[in-house]
A and B are shown apart, each in its own frame.
Chain A
Amino acid sequence: MMEPSTHLRDKYALVGAGHSRLGKVPGVSAQGLLEEAMLNALDDAGLKTQNVDGLICRGPDEIYTFHQVMGERLGIDASFSTTLTNGGASQVMGVALAAMAIDAGMASCVLVGYGRDNWSRVHANKENHMRGSGRPQQMYGMEFGPEFGYYGAIAAHGFGAQRHMHDYGTTREQFGAISVAFRNHALNNPDAVMKKPLTMENYLAGRMIVEPFGLFDCSLQTDGAGAVVVTSAERAKDLRQKPVLIKGFGTGNNISGWFNGNNMTHTGAIQSGKTAYAMAGVGPENIDYAQIYDCFTYMVLVQLEDYGFCRKGEGGEFVASGALGLNGAMPTNTSGGQLSEAHVEGMLQVVEGVRQLQGIYGPERQVPNAEIGLVSGHGGNTVCESTLILGAI
């Protein structure tokens, strides 16, 4: 069996975090948005592109060797560089890979980021998005899906939500508690796309998209990018910001399939969390806040269970108890998340995870006495998970 390593604990640090403009940002490519985020992250750290010798990134998945495109645009040669293709699990994994690369002597200062221009793509090409051209949910290529009218990540995740409701009595109102909690967080984030309050009545009145998910169970369609800078904890002492330590990380990949066994109700977060907790030498009881990948409401609920913040099957009661608020049992997605801030496939969760420990916020957004936080990435088409545990110095 695998033995989680502990020698990386507290050895590397996040020294800068930044994001681009978020929401509707016409006239800028995903690459341009990522440059904006990367320069903001470097500014935050007090570093320049010349200090960077590692570049780990992800952009629109159809761009071949995206890191090469970014290196050319930024004028960076890197001793370590790659593009990740693990969907929404890539971004947290990028931070873990940066620490591993530095530890292996492959680089000393790694820039990690992700950018997307999904709102602009859809709206610049509106005809393509109109009735009659759905993107197949390509679980198996071009068969065993589209011919049965199976389209979109929403349906794949919906299967999990439906089975969880069946097995544990989880309700749509409980999913709604997640949407409402994250909207409340977003109202304290001036950069968040969603500006209006959301009530449970609003949630329940949202039109059904793919049942059991309605409009407010779904993350936003936005442009945006985020980036962070990773270097050694030793070097971090001389930089501009209070360093945020990487205490542990993990990954878990139920790539035998979302439909296999009980994978859709017991996700890759179980393995990923176990590894990350062991590396960090902490457990769920030590975590002060969580930034959880929220493509759909259900994924928050099930990950909170799988990270051990409540028992399996009790996620519904947990989220409905007010746990996700700033003063709740587990303040979660304190920037508003992908449901209400902007959808940058988990990269903004990393950025917010860092900022909470930099301690830069006022009382309306700062988790009181935050010392240890958990950030999750989920994706790769439902079954890939990555986890980061961060600590204040």
Chain B
Amino acid sequence: MSDDYAKAIPIPGPESLPFWEGAKNHQLMLQKCSDCAHHWFPPSTVCTGCGSRNIEWVASSGKGKVFSFVIFHKLYHKGWDGEIPYAVAIVELEEGARMLSNVIGIPVEEVKCDLSVEVVFEDATSELTLPKFKPV
């Protein structure tokens, strides 16, 4: 945790605040439909499975698999200087929702599609916690 954090700071939309508040408390929050039990991400005001407005926020198990990934070999933002190469992945959570994040804790050569991962929380600043994923 530091105040000279050099990476991009997300600017949450109003519908996303529960996700970011949850992350600060080290909980991975997802939206769930009270009618059809569908889970989805990114946040919206309607179930993307059935169109219901009857929706709630729930905590995910944080477990999932890498659906796909890319490895950044080029530096696009100075905040990542010294961290090239790094892996950006789409993680499919057990609940079915897919989410973009980083896979950390292993060499990038070992990141594969379908790799089993679980969430870890990276406290970036006093105001921002990022959910990332490491192999199980």
Residues of A at the B interface (CB closer than 8 Å) are 131-136, 139-152, 155, 158-160, 162-163, 166, 207-212, 256, 259-260, 264
Contacts and interface: CB of A to CB of B under 8 A. Distances in A.
Contacts of A162: 68-70, 113
Contacts of B83: 149
B70 A155 contact: yes
A136 B72 CA distance: 14
Contact of A140 (B42, B67, B124, B128): B42
Given A149-B83, A155-B72, A163-B68, 19 more contacts: A131-B75, A135-B76, A139-B100, A143-B13, A143-B16, A143-B42, A145-B100, A148-B100, A149-B72, A149-B80, A151-B72, A159-B69, A159-B90, A163-B113, A166-B114, A207-B73, A208-B74, A208-B85, A210-B72
A146 B88 contact: no
A361 B72 CA distance: 41
Contacts of B86: 149
Determine chain A's interface SS by DSSP, over half rule: loop
Contacts of A134: 75-77
A139 B98 CA distance: 14
Nearest to B108: A211
A135 B83 CA distance: 18
Contact of B10 (A143, A166, A210, A211): A143
Contact of A143 (B12, B75, B88): B12
A147 B130 contact: yes
A343 to B, nearest CB: 18
Contacts, number: 112
29 contacts: A131-B75, A132-B79, A135-B76, A136-B8, A141-B13, A143-B13, A143-B16, A144-B16, A144-B100, A145-B100, A146-B77, A147-B7, A147-B10, A148-B100, A148-B102, A149-B7, A149-B86, A151-B72, A151-B76, A155-B72, A159-B68, A159-B69, A159-B70, A162-B69, A162-B113, A163-B67, A166-B113, A208-B71, A211-B73
Contacts of A158: 70
Interface of B: 7-13, 16, 42, 48, 67-81, 83, 85-86, 88, 90, 98-102, 112-114, 124, 128, 130, 132
Contacts of B80: 149
A211 B70 contact: yes
Nearest to A131: B75
Given A166-B113, A209-B73, A210-B73, A147 B9 contact: yes
Contacts of B74: 208-210
A219 B86 CA distance: 23
A211 B11 contact: no
A218 to B, nearest CB: 10
Given A143-B12, A149-B86, A163-B113, A212 B70 contact: yes
Contacts of A208: 71, 73-74, 85
Nearest to A155: B70
Nearest to B128: A147
